[in-house]
């Protein structure tokens, strides 16, 4: 299914006046604080977040999965779904492929689909956390860290194959997330696991084209519950440094122990020029992969404050690769992703509204209460009219979820693909 610009425009008509009134009111009050509203709207319109190919069907848990109906059965259909989200939000201009869950068969057709939906291929993700059919070696006891040379070689070769697939599509980066670790004390040797991982990552790094980047993701636990080899940002940072200039740390919001100060991690990495990528989601307990901003929107705003600062003042850090890494157990995946995109844009807009000059003065004067007031007054502003304006400027929907429902997208997908279709790769 394709969502046409003209259908979106006619659906927008219903709320256009309401939007304009709210926008004018907000723009006037922001202009009084000498905020350049056009610039803000432009930045929002240009902020694009990749959708992972694995997020378009119902996720589920190890206890079960409830299919949503109309799920995309092929990579082409997944791209159509991202196309729907992008048409409505104008914020999802990229797709991130997981290999081998989504190996393209016809590259030309896939590239054409991408062009049709105005999508680019973001980082490709390798998978050495599952054994593949007919694979010679097992990853049961690890992949890049395995004590077996043959298993490590296979895992390195898989990453090289993934790079080759990415090259054919125009991707420019590889994200490596390792499940490697141990379940019980004494099961393995920490030092040799880390050393093997470093050596393997270097081999992968050295086989990347020169304009590619390597993103190293970390996670404290799961699927291993005693120790994970790349457990935290420090380990990832160390490995990225060992690999070279084009290796970076990737921060996934769900990959932290409760109450970790993620904004401080972001600031540290950007100062050192090593924040390469970002996976957005939200969590209450662990790697819950919930809708972005559904649990801790204030924390997301504080993280964006550091991202905005870093993007402005840390030329040593590349522009990070943004991706949503959420899973959808209950909601329509497309509605869920739209909500995540909205939450990201909201946090970004609010962070840009913080009066940094005033904040620096208050910090220098050690006026702690004022520092808090400055930060929180930006957070309290309802920025949704700015987001609407940014979407409108690019032909998107004023209210993406409402338009999605009005245009009966899910109903059409169910008609096209059936009620019991299951997303490929899951
Ligand atoms: C691991 C992870 C990683 C994987 C994805 C499926 O928890 O965040 O990014 O590639 O989930
Ligand atoms: Mn992730
Ligand atoms: Mn995760």
* 39 and 308 Cβ atoms separated by less than 8 Å: no
Token duo for residue 3: 């969502």
Beta strands in 13-135 (DSSP E): 50-52, 94-96, 120-121, 124-125
Domain count, the chain: 1
> Residues of the chain whose pLDDT is less than 70?
425-426
Cα(279) to centroid(ligand 2), Å:
5
Has residue 92 been placed in a domain? yes
> Residues 129-173: pLDDT tens digits?
999 999 999 999 999 999 999 999 999 999 999 999 999 999 999
| Closest C-alpha residue for ligand 1 atom 3 | 177
Q: What is the per-residue pLDDT for 58?
A: 83
* 348 and 47 Cβ atoms separated by less than 8 Å: yes
Has residue 34 been placed in a domain? no
d(CA 104, CA 102): 6
Contacts of 140 (CB under 8 A, 6+ apart): 131
The model's pTM is: 0.97
Q: What is the per-residue pLDDT for 426?
A: 54
Domain span at residue 204 reads: 48-353
d(CA 135, CA 154): 9
CA distances from 188 to 142, 147, 225, 330 (A): 10, 9, 13, 38
Has residue 313 been placed in a domain? yes
Q: What is the per-residue pLDDT for 168?
A: 98
Cα(175) to centroid(ligand 2), Å:
9
Q: Using a 6 Å cutoff on CB, does residue 217 contact ligand 1?
A: yes
Beta strands in 269-423 (DSSP E): 275-280, 321-324
Q: Which atom of ligand 1 is nearest to the CA of 54?
A: 6
Element (H, E) at 321: strand 321-324
Has residue 395 been placed in a domain? no
CATH number at residue 301: 3.20.20.150
Q: Which atom of ligand 1 is nearest to the CA of 250?
A: 9
Has residue 10 been placed in a domain? no
Contacts of 183 (CB under 8 A, 6+ apart): 224, 225, 226
Q: Which atom of ligand 1 is nearest to the CA of 217?
A: 9
| Residue 301: strand, helix, or coil | helix
Cα(281) to centroid(ligand 2), Å:
9
Q: Which atom of ligand 1 is nearest to the CA of 281?
A: 8
Sort 218 into a burial class: Cβ within 10 Å, 0-12 / 13-18 / 19+.
buried
Has residue 418 been placed in a domain? no
Query: What's the N-to-C CA distance of the chain in angstroms?
Result: 22
d(CA 345, CA 348): 5
Has residue 390 been placed in a domain? no
ipTM value of the model? 0.98
Ligand 1 pocket test target in 96, 124, 128, 177 with most atoms within 8 Å of CB = 177
Cα(322) to centroid(ligand 1), Å:
14
Pairing assessment for the beta strands 94-96 and 50-52 based on DSSP bridges = parallel
Has residue 29 been placed in a domain? no
Cα(290) to centroid(ligand 2), Å:
12
| Closest C-alpha residue for ligand 1 atom 10 | 177
């Amino acid at each position: 299914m394709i969502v046409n610009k003209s259908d979106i425009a006619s659906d927008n008509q219903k709320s256009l006046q309401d939007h304009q009134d709210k926008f004018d009111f907000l723009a006037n009050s922001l202009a009084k604080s000498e905020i350049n509203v056009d610039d803000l709207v432009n930045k929002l319109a240009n902020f694009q977040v990749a959708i992972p190919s694995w997020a378009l069907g119902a996720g589920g848990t190890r206890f079960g999965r409830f299919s949503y109906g109309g799920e995309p059965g092929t990579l082409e259909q997944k791209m159509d779904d991202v196309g729907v989200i992008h048409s409505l939000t104008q914020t999802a201009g990229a797709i991130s492929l997981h290999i081998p869950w989504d190996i393209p068969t016809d590259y030309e057709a896939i590239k054409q689909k991408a062009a049709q939906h105005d999508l680019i291929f973001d980082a490709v993700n390798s998978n050495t956390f599952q054994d593949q059919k007919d694979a010679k070696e097992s990853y049961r006891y690890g992949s890049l860290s395995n004590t077996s040379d043959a298993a490590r070689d296979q895992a390195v070769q898989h990453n090289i194959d993934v790079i080759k697939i990415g090259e054919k599509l125009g991707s420019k980066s590889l994200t490596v997330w390792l499940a490697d670790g141990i379940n019980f004390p004494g099961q393995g040797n920490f030092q040799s696991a880390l050393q093997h991982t470093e050596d393997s990552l270097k081999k992968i790094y050295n086989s990347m084209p020169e304009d590619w980047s390597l993103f190293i993701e970390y996670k404290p636990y799961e699927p291993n519950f005693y120790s994970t080899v790349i457990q935290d940002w420090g380990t990832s940072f160390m490995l990225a440094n060992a690999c070279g200039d084009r290796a970076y740390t990737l921060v996934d919001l769900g990959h932290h122990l409760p109450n970790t100060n993620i904004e401080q991690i972001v600031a540290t990495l950007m100062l050192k020029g090593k924040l390469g990528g970002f996976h957005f989601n939200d969590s209450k307990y662990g790697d819950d992969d919930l809708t972005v901003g559904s649990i801790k929107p204030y924390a997301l705003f504080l993280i964006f404050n550091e991202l905005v600062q870093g993007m402005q003042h840390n030329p040593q850090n590349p522009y990070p690769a943004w991706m949503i890494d959420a899973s959808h157990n209950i909601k329509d995946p497309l509605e869920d992703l739209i909500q995540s995109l909205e939450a990201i844009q909201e946090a970004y807009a609010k962070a840009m509204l913080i009066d940094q000059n005033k904040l620096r003065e208050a910090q220098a004067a050690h006026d702690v209460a004022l520092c808090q007031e400055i930060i929180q007054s930006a957070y309290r502003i309802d920025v949704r009219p700015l987001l609407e304006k940014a979407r409108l400027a690019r032909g998107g929907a004023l209210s993406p979820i409402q338009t999605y429902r009005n245009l009966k997208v899910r109903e059409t997908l169910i008609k096209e693909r059936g009620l019991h279709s299951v997303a490929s790769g899951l």
